[in-house]
Structure 1
């Protein structure tokens, strides 16, 4: 579902690409149903940086500064949300990356106690909440962060 700019002429469409392990945010010109700019925010691999791509083969469009600033603010929020865990200590980033890859970011209630024990053996207790939230969106008590 597109997220419209207040002036109504532009919108941002956000989608996740599983093959790319990345969020795509596209700035669209609503009337022409045309993508103008695409931001790609990888959320699995700490070595891949976010990028912004312009459609060089399309007709030139002047995008107002306030619209471009609005788009880049949304991209910045996505980067902070998707990649915040990558700013942790390198050894924690590696544990999180491995857990996300192994479990695809999802873990069932029945698996949680065993995985929790494994993570506790690997990381200091003080880091446990950050690792579990980044890897599975859960707290050490098993509840979901957003629930």
Structure 2
């Protein structure tokens, strides 16, 4: 469980997705200095070979970041890694299927495209892995529906 921001008057997070980088950026912003992104974590979510990294803003010089703030930031980074890259911990064959689908359909698929893709997946992916493939490739459940569909 991620703790609340220990110093909300001095630090904040910005989380954004970079399409060209195929990665989530989690930025620790120093509000008191009027600076943004004193520390940035980059969490690739498309390529299992790319590892997450953390960088400090070289333009801001040496910055003292309180331990509780840095720990809070790293908890958020850890959660982003867990949620963005969970599919990469599946069996290698399934990871490759998910990666290919994410690349081809850019993480989303229309209802009209889903039926033929689902038929093909049923022929190539074990039934026990089908739900994971749909969830991680398209954000859909085993019935093909989006999680927020009624």
TM-score of the two chains, using structure 1 as the length reference? 0.93
Aligned to 2:20: 19
CA distance in 2, matches of 1:5, 1:31: 15
Name the count of aligned residue pairs.
144
Gaps of 5+ in 2: none
Cα distance, 1:124–1:7 mapped onto 2, change above 3 Å = same
Aligned to 1:127: 129
Asked if residue 62 in structure 1 is aligned to residue 64 in structure 2, the reply is yes
CA distance in 1, matches of 2:76, 2:51: 16
Aligned to 1:31: 32
Asked if residue 40 in structure 1 is aligned to residue 31 in structure 2, the reply is no
Aligned to 2:5: 5
Asked if residue 71 in structure 1 is aligned to residue 73 in structure 2, the reply is yes
Residues 137, 146 of structure 1: 8 Å contact kept: no
CA distance in 2, matches of 1:103, 1:42: 17
Gaps of 5+ in 1: none
Asked if residue 50 in structure 1 is aligned to residue 58 in structure 2, the reply is no
Aligned-residue RMSD, C-alpha? 1.3
Q: CA deviation at 1:39?
A: 0.2
Q: Secondary structure at the match of 1:24?
A: strand
Q: Secondary structure at the match of 1:111?
A: helix
Residues 45, 85 of structure 2: 8 Å contact kept: yes
Q: CA deviation at 1:59?
A: 2.8
Residues 133, 145 of structure 1: 8 Å contact kept: no
Q: CA deviation at 1:121?
A: 1.1
Residues 6, 72 of structure 2: 8 Å contact kept: no
Residues 40, 56 of structure 2: 8 Å contact kept: yes
